[in-house]
């Protein structure tokens, strides 16, 4: 195998640590403002009078009835999510019993736990690997705004600095019933999403 | 170089990253494993993905205001963390806890031990490949315990129940009958799934003889809890250095002999039975009285330092507090049970295969909230 | 019941063996000079009658003029415990010998103290940041850390 001179090869773990440290610092300087919610974008489209057809209704029904979650469980809220998947608050009656390890097969990311700057590039990578359409539920106070740890030196104040969030669930941790209510709210949002592409807007983006 | 028959081909070890987002690691834990084929040569653990700076946040909160932060350390057994911290501040300030509060604390701590071992055993069995069936069985029991906690303090996961000098609210009238009902069904449940698993060939093949931790290494690394007791170290803080009123109860300390994954699993199951014994004894003798000592609203302990440790479900959890007579701690250090228990992982894993690596890691039972703080 | 050992007796024993190494024998803890820390720790671990084989924890506290590194050791056989401390007066480059050769459990904890307080441990096999990322400026747990 030849070693080409333009690529950077990393051999020791210290070099790997420094490389990852540079990525984290770069992400930190680029994420000083929060990303606006996708619902704001939806309102602009509805203003342009797009009607939802029956094709939309069928496709949206299929999408909301089988949301598969990508794994992103840093901290304590993870255990309320796991309890929601447990035998008492059964999430598989909503079609969500699959918790696949691969983000390529997922369309919902429930972020359950505090996000730190060290973990942020990994969460962004998982989010980018999910195919469209995808939704994010921010679960818990730490995911909404940093929660009880907001004044700490290594905590990101909310997931919406890194990825766009659709539904916010308050609580510390939110009860499984609250999480199920949030998932139903997301179902309502999915019902209102137009599926067929808006040709004028696509032409604009192409330019 | 590897030889198969007459063909020799060149192999070399490679580094595989078990990333922070992984279905079998308990939380955001990352390992860089050097593998030669399937055999593990070396691992390098990488932490810090959940480092929230709790020790620094302690310096800007009052003594009572730090109790919710201790909940988030080991978030599977938060009552034990609360208890450890309150014991440390009471030792520093010289506060005596009333009798009723002591009995309530013991009942709650042992219930928490049961709940924690439910998850520990359930996820260990899931890691060994039992899909989710034992996990669902354990969760059914844990939901009953969480209902009892909900009755006491209104919360399911992060309780914030213990206070410096006692507990925050008295147990309601329906708690003791509900606990009595729970105690009637729990031993039968433990026996039910134990009978299903005791002679299971797959469990025995995957855990017997796997990941042996020698006794000398366990003591040298400072390992405590069921991991150390599985290796034959008969050291339990409830007997060796009794805190609260544990010296009034009779219970045994289960220990293993070999120190493999199966021994650690058996120690946890036996500990659950001993916890039920302690709760039964405490329920009979609980007196009436005040539930909290008379302490000022903003506690100012005298200047000095104190260290108090408890036998948390995962091991020895300790709090080292330095105070300078102001309303916030000067320095609060948490002795992280899970971080210290992970010190021996590297030695335990060398020479085993990747699947055994996951089983060994699951049998140590860590929580990343405690490792990273 | 784990008994904290009487500090005066241990202090006199150590003073005979390693003269001039004890800085202060307080009521609960023994403060030693940092260059004789390894020798005293080895003595505490191996001597008959003391046998401190179990390492509870190591932590560091920032008093504004000096750093204090605190160790607690327990003996499982005799069920007694002792607290050992050492001080570094150098604020720019504090350094203390590492005890990972004697007790392997000090490994991750010393890396944590290096990461959050900035105290170097000489002789540590792998001293690098553990909780924060490489490239993080400063040591957060110090009292003069500005966010």
Q: How far apart are CA B299 and CA B311, in angstroms?
A: 26
**Is B372 within 8 Å of C107 when comparing Cβ atoms?**
no
Closest residue on chain B to C57 (Cα)? B335
Residue of C114, C117, C133, C143 to mutate, interface with A, max A Cβ within 10 Å: C133
Q: Which fold would CATH assign to domain C3-122? A: Beta Polymerase; domain 2 (3.30.460)
Contacts with B223 from chain C: Cβ below 8 Å: 105
Q: How far apart are CA A172 and CA A57, in angstroms?
A: 35
- What lies within 8 Å, CB to CB, of B209 at 6+ separation is B258, B260, B262
Q: Tell me how far CA of residue B367 lies from CA of A8, B340, C82, C124, in angstroms.
A: 35, 12, 29, 26
B34 CA: distance to closest CA in chain A (Å)? 12
Contact (Cβ atoms closer than 8 angstroms) between residue C87 and residue C30 = no
Which ranges of chain B have pLDDT less than 70? 1-5, 24-25
Q: Is A16 on the interface with C (CB under 8 A)?
A: no
**Is B331 within 8 Å of C72 when comparing Cβ atoms?**
no
Q: Taking the alpha carbons of A14, A15, A16, A19 in that order, is the dihedral positive or negative?
A: positive
**Is A18 within 8 Å of C129 when comparing Cβ atoms?**
no
Strands C120-122 and C95-97: parallel
Q: How far apart are CA A69 and CA C99, in angstroms?
A: 46
Q: Which own/partner contact pairs does B185-193 have at CB distance under 8 Å and 24+ positions apart?
A: B185/B144, B186/B114, B186/B141, B186/B144, B186/B276, B187/B273, B187/B276, B189/B137, B189/B141, B190/B269, B190/B272, B190/B273, B193/B134, B193/B137, B193/B138
**Is the pLDDT score of C119 beyond 70?**
yes
**Is A149 within 8 Å of B368 when comparing Cβ atoms?**
no
**Is the pLDDT score of A201 beyond 70?**
no
Residue A89: helix, strand or coil by DSSP? Answer: coil
Mean pLDDT, residues C122-128: 87
Residue A61 half-sphere exposure toward CB, CA atoms < 13 A: 7
Residue A108: helix, strand or coil by DSSP? Answer: strand
What pLDDT, on the 0 to 100 scale, is given for residue A50? Answer: 54
CA B251 from chain center: how many Å? 19
Domains of chain A (ranges, CATH numbers): 34-44+55-193 (3.40.50.12280)
What pLDDT, on the 0 to 100 scale, is given for residue B193? Answer: 84
What pLDDT, on the 0 to 100 scale, is given for residue A203? Answer: 61
> pLDDT by residue (tens digit) across A29-68?
887 887 777 765 555 555 455 556 677 788 888 888 888 8
Which CATH number applies to B63-372? Answer: 1.10.645.10
ipTM reported for the complex, 2 dp: 0.92
Q: Is C103 on the interface with B (CB under 8 A)?
A: yes
Burial class (CB in 10 A: 0-12, 13-18, 19+), B138: buried
What pLDDT, on the 0 to 100 scale, is given for residue B98? Answer: 92
Where are the domains positioned within chain C? Answer: 3-122
Mean pLDDT, residues C64-73: 90
Q: How far apart are CA B333 and CA B88, in angstroms?
A: 11
Contact (Cβ atoms closer than 8 angstroms) between residue B357 and residue B349 = yes
What pLDDT, on the 0 to 100 scale, is given for residue B114? Answer: 92
DSSP state of B129: T
Query: Among A5-14, B16-25, B57-66, C45-54, which is the least confidently predicted range?
Result: A5-14
**Confidence band for C12, pLDDT divided at 50, 70 and 90:** confident
C21 CA: distance to closest CA in chain B (Å)? 23
Q: How far apart are CA C105 and CA B342, in angstroms?
A: 9
Q: Is the peptide bond before A133 cis (omega within 30 degrees of 0)?
A: yes
Q: Is B181 on the interface with A (CB under 8 A)?
A: no
Closest residue on chain C to B307 (Cα)? C72
What pLDDT, on the 0 to 100 scale, is given for residue B320? Answer: 92
Q: In this structure, what are the phi and psi dihedrals at residue B268, rounded to the nearest 5 degrees?
A: -65, -40
Q: In this structure, what are the phi and psi dihedrals at residue C35, rounded to the nearest 5 degrees?
A: -75, -20
C81 CA: distance to closest CA in chain A (Å)? 34
**At which residue do the structure tokens 């709090």 appear?**
B319
Q: How far apart are CA B307 and CA C61, in angstroms?
A: 14
Task: State the virtual CA torsion across A109, A75, B276, B227 in degrees, nearest 10.
Answer: 120
Q: Is the peptide bond before A173 cis (omega within 30 degrees of 0)?
A: yes
Q: Tell me how far CA of residue C110 lies from CA of B126, C129, C144, in angstroms.
A: 34, 10, 21
Contact (Cβ atoms closer than 8 angstroms) between residue C63 and residue C69 = no
Rg from Cα positions in chain C:
16
> pLDDT by residue (tens digit) across A112-138?
889 999 889 989 988 999 888 888 999
Cα–Cα nearest to B311, from B149, B87, B90: B87
Contacts with B, C 115-134, CB within 8 Å? 116, 129-133
């Amino acid at each position: 195998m030849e070693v080409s001179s333009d690529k950077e090869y990393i051999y020791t773990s210290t070099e790997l640590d420094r490389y990852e440290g540079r990525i984290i610092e770069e992400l930190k300087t680029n994420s000083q403002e929060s990303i606006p919610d996708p619902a704001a974008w939806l309102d602009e489209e509805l203003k342009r009078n797009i009607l939802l057809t029956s094709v939309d209704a069928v496709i949206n029904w299929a999408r909301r009835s089988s949301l598969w979650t990508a794994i992103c469980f840093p901290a304590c809220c993870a255990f309320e999510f796991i309890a929601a998947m447990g035998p008492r608050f059964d999430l598989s009656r909503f079609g969500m019993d699959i918790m696949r390890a691969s983000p390529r097969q997922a369309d919902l990311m429930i972020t359950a736990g505090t996000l730190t700057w060290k973990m942020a590039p990994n969460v962004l990578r998982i989010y980018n690997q999910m195919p469209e359409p995808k939704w994010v539920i921010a679960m818990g106070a730490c995911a909404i705004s940093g929660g009880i740890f907001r004044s700490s030196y290594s905590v990101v104040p909310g997931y919406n600095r890194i990825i766009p969030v659709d539904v916010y669930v308050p609580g510390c941790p939110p009860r499984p019933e609250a999480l199920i209510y949030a998932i139903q709210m997301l179902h309502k949002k999915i019902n209102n999403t137009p599926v067929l592409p808006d040709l004028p807007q696509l032409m604009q983006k192409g330019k | 170089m590897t030889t198969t028959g007459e063909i020799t081909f060149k192999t070399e070890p490679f580094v595989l990253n078990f990333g922070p987002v992984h279905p079998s690691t308990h939380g955001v834990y990352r390992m860089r494993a050097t593998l030669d084929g399937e055999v593990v040569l070396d691992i390098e653990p990488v932490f810090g993905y959940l480092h929230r700076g709790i020790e620094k946040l302690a310096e800007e909160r009052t003594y009572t205001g730090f109790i919710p932060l201790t909940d988030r350390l080991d978030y599977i057994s938060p009552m034990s963390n609360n208890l450890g911290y309150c014991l440390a501040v009471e030792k520093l300030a010289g506060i005596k806890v009333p009798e009723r509060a002591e009995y309530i604390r013991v009942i709650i701590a042992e219930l928490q031990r049961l709940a924690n071992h439910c998850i520990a055993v359930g996820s260990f069995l899931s890691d060994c490949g039992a899909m989710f069936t034992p996990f669902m069985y354990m969760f059914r029991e844990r939901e009953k315990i969480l209902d009892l906690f909900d009755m006491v303090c209104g919360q399911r996961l992060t309780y914030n129940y213990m206070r410096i000098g006692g507990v925050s609210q008295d147990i309601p009238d329906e708690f003791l009958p509900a606990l009595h009902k729970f105690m009637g069904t729990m031993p039968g449940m433990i026996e039910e799934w134990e009978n299903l698993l005791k002679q299971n060939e797959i469990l025995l093949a995957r855990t017997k003889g796997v990941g042996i931790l020698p006794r000398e290494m366990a003591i040298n690394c400072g390992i405590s809890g069921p991991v150390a007791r599985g290796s034959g170290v008969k050291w339990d803080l409830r007997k060796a250095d009794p805190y609260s009123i544990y010296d009034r109860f009779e219970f045994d300390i289960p220990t293993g002999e070999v120190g493999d994954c199966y021994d650690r699993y058996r120690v946890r199951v036996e500990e659950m039975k001993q916890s039920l014994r302690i709760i039964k004894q405490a329920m009979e003798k609980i007196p009436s009285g005040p539930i909290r000592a008379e302490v000022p609203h903003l506690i100012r302990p005298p200047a000095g330092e104190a260290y108090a440790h408890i036998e948390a479900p995962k091991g020895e959890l300790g709090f080292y507090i330095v105070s300078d007579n102001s309303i916030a701690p000067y320095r609060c250090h948490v002795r992280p049970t899970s971080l210290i228990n992970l010190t021996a992982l590297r030695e335990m894993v060398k020479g085993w295969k990747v699947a055994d690596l996951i089983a060994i890691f699951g049998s140590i039972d860590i929580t990343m909230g405690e490792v990273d703080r | 019941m784990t008994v904290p050992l009487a500090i005066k007796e241990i202090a006199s024993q150590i003073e005979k063996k390693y003269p001039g190494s004890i800085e202060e024998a307080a009521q609960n803890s023994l403060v030693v000079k940092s260059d004789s820390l390894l020798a005293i720790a080895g003595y505490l671990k191996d001597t008959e009658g003391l046998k401190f084989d179990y390492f509870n924890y190591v932590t560091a506290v920032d008093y504004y003029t000096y750093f204090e590194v605190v160790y607690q050791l327990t003996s499982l056989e005799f069920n007694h415990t002792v607290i050992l401390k050492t001080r570094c007066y150098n604020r720019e480059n504090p350094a203390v010998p590492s005890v990972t050769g004697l007790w392997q459990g000090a490994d991750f904890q010393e890396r944590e103290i290096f990461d959050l307080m900035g105290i170097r441990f000489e002789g540590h096999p792998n001293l690098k940041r553990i909780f924060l990322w490489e490239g993080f400026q400063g040591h957060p747990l110090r009292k003069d850390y500005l966010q």
